[in-house]
Amino acid sequence: MPKEICEVTHVHEEAVTKVQQQMPDLSGVAKFLKALSDETRLKIAYALTVEDELCVCDVATIIGSSVATASHHLRYLKENNLARSHRIGKQMYYSLADEHIYQIVTIAYEHAKEGIANGSDTN
């Protein structure tokens, strides 16, 4: 199998300059994706694509954890602008922060599912 590297070094200056000039600060995006890179938090986000809002107790049951663990993950999602919360009586409810989060989670799931179906899952 051939190595997936350039066999010669030839930098395409025009393309590199164009990309460098248009490269925004992606630290916020990296932080956002890091929040979703944890499988438990991703499960929570996915659960919130199925149900618009869930209380902490519901989430704990769904992910098979303690209420404290679920609360910790939900708080992390909220702190990273992926979720929002409100209290009703003695229960705290969470939902996805906006439609973008819904789309990202569902598109990522569909992409992964297609990769597995096409045999390109490398795990």
Tens-digit pLDDT profile for residues 2-57: 788 877 888 999 999 999 999 999 999 999 999 999 999 999 999 999 999 999 99
What average pLDDT is seen over the chain? 92
d(CA 41, CA 108): 14
Predicted confidence at residue 10, as pLDDT, reads 87
Those residues whose C-beta lies under 8 Å from the C-beta of residue 40, and which sit 6 or more positions away, are 63, 65, 69, 73
User: Which tokens hold the place of 36?
Assistant: 């979703």
Q: Can you list the domains of the chain with their CATH numbers?
A: 34-117 (1.10.10.10)
d(CA 73, CA 45): 10
Cβ 59 vs Cβ 70: under 8 Å: yes
d(CA 36, CA 102): 12
Predicted confidence at residue 16, as pLDDT, reads 95
